[in-house]
Structure 1
C-alpha cells in the first residue's frame, strides 16, 4: 500500500470517527434530561439501600390544596342592595329561590343573609334563620368595569329573590355605581402586575419528570392543569405564591420521558399574593436555583437574558406598587384585591 493510499485511509477513518462522535454528541444533546433517583448515603452497590429519597418520574405530583372559602361582599368593591324582611326566613327557603347563576354579565353576583343566631353575614345555609339579606355585584374585575346592562341584570336577579322571600330591596342609583365602577377599573388597570420569567435550556432539553424533580425540591406541587406546577401559600388554603408552567402537550404525551422541553415560565400574580410572603424574592431565588440546577438561562419573553440589576429595579418598583395598593385598602393578597384582580 502506497503512502498516499495509507494517508487517504487514515484521513477517512479520522473523518468517520469525527462523524460518529458528532452524532453521539448531538443525540445526547437532544435527549431530554431525565429525573435521577438518589440512593441513601452508605448504601452498597450489591445490596439495596434501606432508605431512598423520593423519586420523581413523569407521574403527577401531589394535588393542589383545596382553595379557601370565597370572601364575602364588601362595599369597597361591590354594589350592595339591602333587602329588609318582615320576619326571619329559613335557610332552606333562601336556598330554594337563589338565582341559578352567580353572575351578572361578567361580574360575580352574590346574596348574603344576616344569621339570626350569630348576627354575621354569610351565604345562606340550610338549618339557619336569617333576619335580613343583601345582594351584591362586583364593580370591576380583569374583564372590565360594571356597565349599565350588567347593573340592570343585577337588579332583576336581586328583585326576584327579594320578592320570593317577601322582602323589600333598595337599590343605589345606577349612574353613581357605574361611575364608581369605571373609576375602580381605571385604578386596577393602572396597578395590575403579572410578572413572568422564562427559563430556557442552554444545551440539553428537559423531560417533564426532570422539571418536576427540580421544582419539587423547591416546594412546587402539581397544579390543576397538566404542565403547571405551583408553590403553595404559607397559609393553608391561600392562593399559590408562584406558578411554573411548561408545554401541556409534553405533560400529556404518551411517553412523557421522551418529551423535550426547552423552556418553562415562572410567574407571579402580584395582587393575589400577600406582600409579607415576599413572593418576588422567592420568585427570583427559585429562578436562580432552577437555572443553576438545570443548566438554564433566565430571560424575558423575547429571549433576552435578564441581568441581576434589572431584577433589582423590578423589586424596587414592586415595593412602590404595594404601598399604593395598601393606601387604597386593596393590599396585595387581601380578599378585596384578590377579587378585584381576577
Structure 2
C-alpha cells in the first residue's frame, strides 16, 4: 500500500472520528438535563445509586389543596352599595333561594350580604341564620375596566329582583356619580398596576420538566393547580402565592417528560396581590439569580435581552414607591381590596 493511500486512510479515519465526536457532543447538548437520581444508603454503609426514575419526571405532581379562604366582604371603597331594608327578619334559607343565579353584572363581581340578627355582622347568607337587613354590591372596577351604565343597570335589576323576593325595599345611589367614581378608580388602578416577569433561558442544554421542578423545589416552589406551573406559597395560610414559575404545559403533560425539551421558563410576580412584608421582589430577584446559576441560564426580558443585576435593583426601588402610593389610597398590596381591584 502506497504512502498516499495510507495517508488517505488515516485522514478518513480522523474525519470519521471527528464526525462521531461531533454527533455525540450534539446529542449530549440537545438532550434535556435530567433531575438528579435519589441516593440511598446501603446496609453496609456504602452509597449506592438507585436505578429508578426521579419522581419529578413521572406524571405531573398533584398540588396540595390550599386551605379554604374567607371571601372578603363588600367594601364601599371599591363597590357600589345598595342597602335593602326589610320589615321583619328574613331567614337564611329564604335569602339563599332569592339570590340571582349568577354573581356578576357584566364583567364585574356582584354580591349580596345579610346583616346577621345574632352577630350583628355582614356576611354571605347562611342556612339557619336570620337577617334584619341586606346590602347588594357591584365592583366599581377591575382589570377589565370601569363599571359602565349597562353594568350598573344590570346591578339594579338583580338587586331589585332579590329585594322583591324577600319583600325588601332597596335604595340605590345615583348612577352618574357611581360611574364617575368607577372611572376615577379605574384610572388609578391602570396607572398603578404592576405585573412583573423575568424569563430564564437555557445557555446550552435544554431542561426537562423534572430538572426545572427539582431546582425550583430547592427554593421552596411547589406544584400549582395548572400543569407546567409552580408557585412559591405565602407564609400566611390561604394567602395568594408570592411568585409563579411557568413552563410549557405541553411538556409537563408529555407521556415521557424526560424527553421534553424546555429552553425557557417564566418567573412572575403580581405586585398588588402580595403584601410588601413578604418581600416579594427580593425573593423574585434572588430566585431568578439562583435558578440561572444552578440551571446554567440567563435572566432576560420578554424580548430576550439579558437583564443585568443593577437593573434588577432599580426595579426594586421603583416598587417601593408604588407600595407607598397603594398604602396612601388604602389599597395596600396584598389587601382584600387590592386583590379584588387588580383582578
Question: Which residue of 1 is the match for residue 78 of structure 2?
Answer: 77
Question: Which residue of 1 is the match for residue 16 of structure 2?
Answer: 16
User: After the TM superposition, which parts of structure 1 deviate over 2 Å for at least 4 consecutive aligned residues?
Assistant: 40-50, 54-64
Give TM-score scaled by structure 2 length: 0.95
Question: Which residue of 2 is the match for residue 261 of structure 1?
Answer: 262
Question: Which residue of 2 is the match for residue 32 of structure 1?
Answer: 32
Q: Secondary structure at the match of 1:302?
A: coil
Question: Which residue of 2 is the match for residue 336 of structure 1?
Answer: 337
Paired with 1:45 and 1:17, the residues of 2 have a C-alpha distance of 42
Q: Is the 8 A contact 1:67 1:239 kept in 2?
A: no
Q: What displacement does 1:218 show?
A: 1.1
Q: Is the 8 A contact 2:222 2:232 kept in 1?
A: yes
Against the structure 1 CA distance between its residues 263 and 130, is the aligned structure 2 distance closer, same or farther, given a 3 Å change threshold?
Answer: same
Question: Which residue of 2 is the match for residue 114 of structure 1?
Answer: 115
Paired with 1:291 and 1:172, the residues of 2 have a C-alpha distance of 54
Paired with 1:167 and 1:131, the residues of 2 have a C-alpha distance of 10
Question: Which residue of 1 is the match for residue 159 of structure 2?
Answer: 158
Paired with 2:38 and 2:49, the residues of 1 have a C-alpha distance of 10
Say what the alpha-carbon RMSD is for the aligned residues: 1.8
Cα deviation code 1:95-132 (max 9, x no counterpart): 01100000000000000001111111000000111111
Paired with 2:65 and 2:101, the residues of 1 have a C-alpha distance of 28
Against the structure 1 CA distance between its residues 303 and 45, is the aligned structure 2 distance closer, same or farther, given a 3 Å change threshold?
Answer: farther
User: May I ask how many residue pairs the two structures share in their alignment?
Assistant: 340
Cα deviation code 1:196-223 (max 9, x no counterpart): 0000011111111111111111111111
1:235 is the counterpart of 2:207: no
Against the structure 1 CA distance between its residues 145 and 43, is the aligned structure 2 distance closer, same or farther, given a 3 Å change threshold?
Answer: farther
Against the structure 1 CA distance between its residues 284 and 122, is the aligned structure 2 distance closer, same or farther, given a 3 Å change threshold?
Answer: same
Against the structure 1 CA distance between its residues 43 and 312, is the aligned structure 2 distance closer, same or farther, given a 3 Å change threshold?
Answer: farther
Q: What displacement does 1:85 show?
A: 0.9
Q: Secondary structure at the match of 1:56?
A: helix
Bigger mean CA deviation after superposition, 37-46 or 194-203:
37-46
Paired with 1:237 and 1:122, the residues of 2 have a C-alpha distance of 19
Bigger mean CA deviation after superposition, 67-76 or 295-304:
67-76
Paired with 1:201 and 1:67, the residues of 2 have a C-alpha distance of 38
Paired with 2:252 and 2:49, the residues of 1 have a C-alpha distance of 31
